[in-house]
Amino acid sequence: MNLAFAGTPDIAAVLLGALIDTPQHRIRHVYTQPDRPAGRGRKARPSPVKQIAQQFVIPVKQPATPSELAQDSDLEGVDALVVVAYGLILPATVLSGPQYGCINVHTSLLPRWRGAAPVQRAIQAGDRETGVSIMLMDSGIDTGKILLQKSCVIGNTDTALSLSNRLASLGSECLLEALDRLVAGTAEWSEQDDGAAAYAHKVTKQEAEIDWHAGTEQIERTIRAFNPAPVAFTSLNDVKIRVWEAITLDTGVQNGKPGEIIAYGPEGLDVTTGSGTLRILTLQLEGKKKQGIREIHNGYPRLFVPE
């Protein structure tokens, strides 16, 4: 197939790489978000998708708005536009451009978790499984017909990063199978059940602040869901920290007020929640790199000592 590709983050770059490695498909050009400031120097950095495209000398287009995309789209002779976490709403002229339409690789089992943050919301909600859906895009947000779905277990220690990595591999497999069905004329589409839909709102930095009145398990899931971004954060003993890893302790047993430190040692930093105790294992002091609690304790043995 003659394909165009639209995507921006790491997971999209993995799927673009899978298409590049498949000789029966040709990527004519790539759409991705404009370069954004990143890092301490705030220098403009190309997206992971742009970096892969440039490595393989694939033309790159970077419209900043849907209207720019509508004006800059070049889909004549393109069999399908593959879309993976692109970040721009596709205008109607783009949706109707390719022969087979716009094929979206979405990292949830639709109609559950439509929207921008399906991986994070699935972990945060305590879902036991998620997966990949190959969908024909329409004018709604992840409301189109489904061609193919495959499931993936969510482990008790999965972070957004570890789960996304597995879904990238599964998504590559699903996408190539879906394209084979389109070429062979064996594709069968099914409608989504709108009544079963849940919406995965975009994650904000504000909601990454830990609410210690919440339940222990809810806080622990949120920490995993927001790893590696935006990273859960809090202030304990007037020390601002980012929390990268934690485990639940004594669920249902109250040993203090929510947000109160009840123990600090090489094994962990124990904090009372709304329903028990959370043990922080890996954290990041302001202006420092992330460290295990044992390393923190060795350097700052009195930093979080309960008052």
Taking only the tens place, the pLDDT of each residue in 23-50 is 999 999 999 999 988 777 778 899 999 9
Q: Average pLDDT in the 154-158 region?
A: 97
Mutual angle of helices 10-20 and 48-55, in 10-degree steps: 20
Alpha helices, H only, the chain? 10-20, 48-55, 66-72, 92-95, 118-124, 160-184, 216-225, 293-299
Whether residue 227 has pLDDT greater than 90: yes
Whether residue 73 has pLDDT greater than 90: no
The pLDDT assigned to 135 comes to: 98
Distance CA 102, CA 107 (A): 16
Question: pTM here?
Answer: 0.94
Q: Is the Cβ–Cβ distance between 156 and 128 less than 8 Å? A: no
C-alpha closest to that of 182 among 130, 139, 145: 145
Tokens standing for residue 169: 């591999």
Whether residue 255 has pLDDT greater than 80: no
Q: What CATH topology corresponds to 2-200?
A: Rossmann fold (3.40.50)
Query: What value does the mean pLDDT of the chain take?
Result: 95
**Alpha carbon of 147 to those of 57, 61, 120: distances in Å?**
31, 28, 24
Whether residue 75 has pLDDT greater than 70: yes
Distance CA 195, CA 35 (A): 38
Delimiting residues of CATH 3.10.25.10 domain(s) in the chain: 206-299
Q: Is the Cβ–Cβ distance between 107 and 171 less than 8 Å? A: yes
The angle at the Cα of 47, spanning 99 to 137, to the nearest 5 degrees, equals 30
CATH architecture of 206-299: Roll (3.10)
Note the pLDDT tens digit of each residue in 168-205: 999 999 999 999 999 999 999 999 999 999 999 999 99
**Alpha carbon of 16 to those of 44, 146, 149, 184, 189: distances in Å?**
22, 21, 19, 22, 23
The pLDDT assigned to 307 comes to: 66
CB atoms near residue 15 (< 10 Å): 25
Delimiting residues of CATH 3.40.50.170 domain(s) in the chain: 2-200
The pLDDT assigned to 181 comes to: 97
Tokens standing for residue 287: 């202006």
Which residue type, as a one-letter code, is found at position 191? E
